[in-house]
A and B are shown apart, each in its own frame.
Chain A
Amino acid sequence: MKVYLVRRFLQSLLVLLGVSFVVFGILYLTGDPALVLMPPDATIEDIAKFREQMGFNDPFLVQYGRFLSGALRGDFGQSVRHGEPAFALVMERMPATLELSGAALVVALSLAIPAGIISAVRRNSLMDYVSTVIALLGQSMPTFWLGIMLILLFSVQLNVLPSSGRGGWQHMLLPAVTLGLFTTARITRLTRSGMLEVLNQDYIRTARAKGVSNPPVVWKHALKNAAIPIVTIVGIELGTLLGGSVITETIFAWPGVGRLSVQAIYNRDYPVVQAAVFMLSATFVLVNLVVDVLYTYLDPRIRLR
Chain B
Amino acid sequence: MSTALPAIATAGGQSPPRREWLVFLGRLTRRRTALFGLIVVAVVILTSVAAPWLTPFDPVEQDIGERLKSPGARDAAARLHPLGTDHLGRDLLARVIYGARPALLVGFAAVVISGVLGMAAGLLGGYFGGWVDDVLMRLADVQLAFPFILLAIAVIGVLGPSLTTIIVVIGVSSWVVYARVVRAAVFSLREREFVQAAQALGSRDGRVLLRHILPNALTPWLVVATLDMARVIVIESALSFLGLGVQPPTPTWGGMLADGRVYISTAWWLATFPGLAILVTVLGINLFGDGLRDTLDPRLKV
Contact = CB atoms under 8 A, between A and B. Distances in A.
Contacts of A265: 153-154, 157, 244
A243 B148 contact: yes
Contacts of B149: 243-244, 246-247
B238 A152 contact: no
A148 B230 contact: no
Contact of B146 (A19, A142, A247, A261): A19
B159 A29 contact: yes
A142 B282 contact: yes
Given A11-B141, A140-B282, A151 B264 contact: yes
A104 B201 CA distance: 57
Contacts of B145: 15-16, 18-19, 239, 281, 284-285
B147 A137 contact: no
Interface string B277-290: 01100110011000
A225 interface: no
Of the listed residues B147, B153, B230, B264, the one surrounded by the most CB atoms of chain A closer than 10 A to its CB is B147
Interface string B237-263: 110011110000000001001001100
Given A148-B257, A148-B271, A242 B147 contact: yes
Contacts of A204: none
B42 interface: no
A27 B138 CA distance: 23
B164 to A, nearest CB: 14
A250 B242 contact: yes
B150 A258 contact: yes
Contacts of A247: 149, 238, 241-242
Contact of A18 (B139, B238, B278): B139
A18 B151 CA distance: 14
A100 interface: no
A142 B237 contact: yes
B188 interface: no
Interface string B115-151: 0000000000000000000000011011011111111
B259 to A, nearest CB: 11
Interface residues of B, number: 43
Contact of B265 (A29, A156, A258, A280): A156
B157 A246 contact: no
Given A19-B145, A258-B150, A30 B257 contact: no
A12 B138 CA distance: 10
B153 A246 contact: yes
A152 B271 contact: yes
Contacts of A268: 157
Contacts of B237: 142, 144
A89 interface: no
A5 interface: no
Interface of A: 11, 14-16, 18-19, 22, 26-27, 29-30, 36, 136-137, 139-145, 148-149, 151-152, 156, 236, 239, 242-247, 250-251, 258, 261-262, 265-266, 268, 270, 273, 276-277, 280-281, 284-285
Given A15-B145, A273-B157, 20 more contacts: A19-B142, A137-B279, A137-B283, A142-B278, A142-B282, A144-B241, A145-B275, A149-B271, A156-B264, A236-B144, A243-B150, A246-B150, A251-B261, A265-B154, A265-B244, A266-B243, A277-B147, A277-B154, A280-B150, A284-B145
Q: 4 closest Cβ contacts across the A-B interface? A: A243-B147, A145-B275, A18-B142, A265-B157
